[in-house]
Amino acid sequence: MNFVVVKVTAIYLIFSLTVVEPQPVDARKKQPLINTLASQDLVTNLPGQPAVDFQHYAGYVNVNETNGRALFYWFYEAATNPDLKPLVLWLNGGPGCSSVGYGATQEIGPFIVGTDGHGLRFNNYSWNQEANLLFLESPVGVGFSYSNTTTDYDNLGDAFTGESYAGKYVPELAELINDKNTDPSQHIDLKGILLGNPETSDAEDWRGLVDYAWSHAVVSDETHKIIRENCDFDGDTWSNKNCSQAVDEVLKQYKEIDIYSLYTSVCIGDTANSDDASMQVMMMKKTSTMMPRIMGGYDPCLDDYSKKFYNRADVQKALHVSNGLPLKNWSICSVKIFNNWTDSKPSILPIYKKLIAAGMRIWVYSGDTDGRVPVLSTRYSLGALGLPITKAWTPWYHQKQVSGWFQEYEGLTFATFRGAGHAVPCFKPSNSLALFTSFLLGESLPSTR
């Protein structure tokens, strides 16, 4: 097994992420951060990489020797004092979208793919300023991850495997860790999860999506009225023809703009017709059991830059992809995985309650210009928990400006980002780093200028 052994005492699962509290380490007893067995995964010649003082590693974790199942990872040391800082695991949603293509090189990693798809630029607000970052392309079939057993691709679901759809399988992973922690030999000091614009409860998510579209003038009063009178999102929603047609009208209008970012321009040009960009249109559909899982991030042009970059032979070689085998075709999201996803809980609110009772820290944040999993969906879902409020709704500040609003409950904090779309760090990099820092420290967001 190729993997990075990190000497930390804290782990965080965010957004896709999980959290472990850092604790003092006697400098005289410190061991190397990276196990020497992983030295072959050290990235030394990534094309276009800015010079940095920290190390990063990429390669494969063999998760099933029998089936030949391997997941691709990319690990960045914290920019300073990596031995003393927590480990953060970032998982993007979809399901079927790449944590490397989105999280690592569009959102929170130290390198952002350039607009020509050839170079990289340094991210001054990378979250590795505060933590060691681990990005995993999961499950098999996402990005560079693979299996030599074809049936592995036909049995995918939440039980098989943090923005968006990761809002479901991150809490499920946290629950699994919590349950397994009864065995001292498997104990992981997991303290909490941080989730951004997460899918949470199908019924509340649907209500939030249509109410947000109406309140932001995407659909008419008449369409919204039909939905209110005919849609039972808690029951057999799509058996009602009037409901189904009205919701189709909402999705139709969202095809005209960027559902992930209502007030920014869409990508226009040849790249907008690429296979990856067209996924957004293809996935604007309903299913009988779950939310319309629309693929990807917020900027189809950014997606194309990532596709160009990761399909370069020299980039794949630098990242130790396929161990020297012929060029692997990388895509930012997988239609096959999306279509084959067979297992999805309609609500993970019971898991929230379980994790809160176990004492885990849970923070949820929402960019307030996202129509895909809008702030209303999250407010409806959290409202259904019925948690006591410990700090009432109030602005939080960054650089003396209102960054958003937040409210604290017993066991949970909810915060908004003013003027941010679905992938919040793309819109508010400095603000999101500030929230991330408060989360790691277990401190309230700044409520004064």
Query: For 258-298, what is the HEC assignment?
Result: CCCCCCCCCCCCHHHHCHHHHHHHHCCCCCCCCCCCCCCCC
Question: What does the pLDDT look like over 11-59, one tens digit per residue?
Answer: 555 433 333 333 333 433 444 444 544 678 999 999 999 999 999 999 9
Catalytic residue among 126, 164, 261, 403: 164
Superfamily of the domain at 11-200+347-441: Alpha/Beta hydrolase fold, catalytic domain (3.40.50.1820)
402: Cα within 13 Å, side-chain hemisphere: 8
- pLDDT average, residue stretch 280-309: 54
pLDDT for res 156: 47
Whether the CB-CB separation of 358 and 120 falls below 8 Å is answered with no
Q: What is the mean pLDDT of residues 160-173?
A: 63
Output the pLDDT for position 147: 62
Q: According to the model, what pLDDT value does residue 18 have?
A: 35
What confidence score (pLDDT) does residue 375 get? Answer: 97
pLDDT tens column, 214-252 = 999 999 999 999 999 999 999 989 999 999 999 999 999
CB 377 within 8 A of CB 207: yes
320 has catalytic annotation: no
Distance CA 64, CA 345 (A): 25
Give the residue with greater pLDDT, 25 vs 403: 403
Say how far apart CA 427 and CA 421 lie, in whole Å.
Answer: 7
Could you say which of 56, 224, 398, 422 is catalytic?
A: 422
Known active-site residue 164: yes
Is residue 370 among the annotated active site residues? yes
Between CA 170 and CA 176 the distance in angstroms is 10
Which is the catalytic residue, given 370, 377, 432, 438?
Answer: 370
* Number of neighbours of residue 436 by Cβ within 10 angstroms: 25
Q: How many CB atoms lie within 10 A of CB 334?
A: 26
Residue-wise pLDDT for 116-143, tens only, equals: 777 899 999 999 999 999 998 887 778 7
The whole-chain average pLDDT of the chain stands at 80
Q: Which residues of 167-204 are buried (b: 16+ CB within 10 A; e: fewer)?
A: bbbbbebbbebbeeeeeeeeeeebbbbbbbbbbbbbbb
Q: Tell the residue number behind the tokens 């109030």, with chain if given.
A: 394
Percent of the chain at pLDDT above 90? 49
- Measured CA to CA, the distance from residue 17 to residue 91 in angstroms comes to 7
CA distances from 319 to 56, 121, 271 (A): 10, 17, 25
Name the band, by pLDDT with cuts 50, 70 and 90, for residue 271.
Answer: very low
Q: Is it the case that residue 447 has pLDDT exceeding 70?
A: yes
- Would you say 128 and 109 are in contact if contact means Cβ atoms under 8 Å apart? yes
pLDDT at 374 over 50: yes
Alpha helices in 29-106 (DSSP H): none
Higher pLDDT, 117 or 342: 117
Q: Which two tokens stand for residue 247?
A: 């919701």
